[in-house]
Amino acid sequence: MPKNTSILVATIGTRDLAFQVSSGEWLNIGNDRAPDLNSISEQALVQVDLGLENFNFRSLTEYLLNHWDEYHERLKPIILGKLIEDSRDRLQKIYLFGTNQLERVKQRDKDTLFSAEIIQKWIAAQYAISTSVVLQGAEGENPSDFEEMFRWWKNTWQQIATESQDGVSILLCLKGGVGQSSEASRVTALSRFAEDAQFYDFIQDEEKNRRGLPSEYTKPFAGRNYLWDRKRQEALALLERHDYEAVYRTLEAYYKNEDIEQTDARLMARVKLLLKAAISWNISDFKGFSAILGSQAETRSQQWWWTGYEAAYLSTVRFRQGNTVEALFHSFRAIEGSVSMWAEWRYPEHIDHNNGSPQIKASILDVFPSYIGDKRQENMMVTLKEKGKLGLYSFALYDLLRQSLPEWRKDPHIRSVWDEAAPRRNQLFHRLLGLQKFEVFEAWDTPNEEKWEVRILGCLNFLSEEDFSSLSEASLMSQVHREIKEAIASYQP
């Protein structure tokens, strides 16, 4: 295990320290409760063994601290001992929190300042770990006041964070001491350290403790797990916005969690994979999207038309996000790009590429002698004949579709691309003005969002000869999105 990668923070309570009496038995110095009417408490037995009378917990631990040289081999942190022993190679610092309240405070006789200092000395004698004792109450703050302790702990965590190194995990043992202060410490620790916090609890075993064996501790409960409900809510809200990169960052601490069950680990690994794919999809990297999904996208990605549906679905996502310019751009790009892919699929022998851009070869005239027959486009025909190639976009692309699929005139959707959408698109894209939602619909000669999506879908179905009932059904990303959402909603650390 790497050295100096953790800080241990422990609140010290009255039950944290044990003393070995003359019989060899280890007794809890802070246990002031007698098991029955005919016996005395462990704290009283310690006093008897030391020859002391009428000592409370504070004065008893002060006496032992003052006589450390005499009794140090008979003192032991009976709760923290094993955790410190097991973690010693990675601890760069230990903070022990005790109480030292003003004389007027009724609970002052249970203050743990001397107990914390005894444990500090014990650590120094056993290990070379820097240890500090931090005290509450000396300046009048009340450990029983949750609101006051909330503010106190926030300031304290800030100081600890300033003194610690980056990337250091925080091991937290915060059940000891005054209940309100301990509760405030846990809440504020989560806010300050979040996923870097690891919470430990301890399993009391009185029989083992009396033999001088320190308490066992539970598997650490990570701060990320305490925070899961909040993180899940945040991730689902971001998912509604299709902000996959932000969702990925929000859940980052949950991808590498060695403490979770194997089935849950597989679930989060799956979420991580899907989010990476979604991030690629969100920037129109459909090739990267399918590569990450692997076999899940294998069948669909072999179809020439599949990216057209993905681009079209992306346009509807952008529309819902309020990105109207991008919605119009992706919707038109989905159709024009699909027509281009259709041409490459339908006439591969007549199409060449120049730096990735398709060009129609003059050999297409053998198939369609009247190709580019519009007199207004004579310059294009001259270019095709003289250079033997012509960039396959705009009218050159449109006329190839018109020549090859004369039934396009009967389809109101595909016909609208060059009759209404293309001219309107050019007008809108060449001005630096805002774009209202209704202008997206007008550009496609549709009255509302539903009809706009139907038009885009109709164009794609016409080209692919598929019969999808919605863009959501046609898009692989919509299935991925749904799987991500269901996985996040169902995951429970």
d(CA 452, CA 231): 35
CA 218, 221, 222, 223 dihedral sign is: negative
- CB of 17 closer than 8 Å to CB of 118: yes
- Report whether pLDDT(333) > 60: yes
Q: Is 182 helix (H, G, I), strand (E, B) or coil?
A: helix
pLDDT band of residue 480 (cuts 50, 70, 90) is very high
CA end-to-end distance (rounded Å), the chain: 25
CA contacts within 13 A on the Cβ side of 197 = 24
Q: 295-319: per-residue pLDDT in tens?
A: 989 899 999 999 999 999 999 999 9
**Residue spans per domain, the chain:** 6-226, 306-465
Instruction: Say what the pLDDT of residue 1 is.
Output: 41
pTM of the model: 0.70
Token digits of residue 435? 């774009």
Q: In CATH, what class is 6-226?
A: alpha beta
Q: What single letter denotes the amino acid at residue 444?
A: W
CA 218, 220, 226, 231 dihedral sign is: negative
* 17-20 vs 75-77, strand pairing mode: antiparallel
Q: Which helix (H) or strand (E) holds 295?
A: helix 295-301
By C-alpha distance, which of 364, 338, 358 is closest to 462? 338
Beta strand segments in 38-154, E:
75-77, 91-99, 131-136
d(CA 399, CA 469): 28
Residue 382: how many CB atoms within 10 A of its CB?
Answer: 12
By residue count, the chain amounts to 493
d(CA 63, CA 55): 9
pLDDT band of residue 4 (cuts 50, 70, 90) is low
* Lowest mean pLDDT across 30-44, 110-124, 146-160: 30-44
Q: 236-290: per-residue pLDDT in tens?
A: 999 999 999 999 999 988 887 555 456 677 888 999 999 999 999 999 999 999 9
* Lowest mean pLDDT across 78-82, 104-108, 264-268, 401-405: 264-268
By C-alpha distance, which of 211, 14, 173, 188 is closest to 94? 173
- Report whether pLDDT(395) > 50: yes
* For residues 63-74, average pLDDT: 96
d(CA 114, CA 390): 89
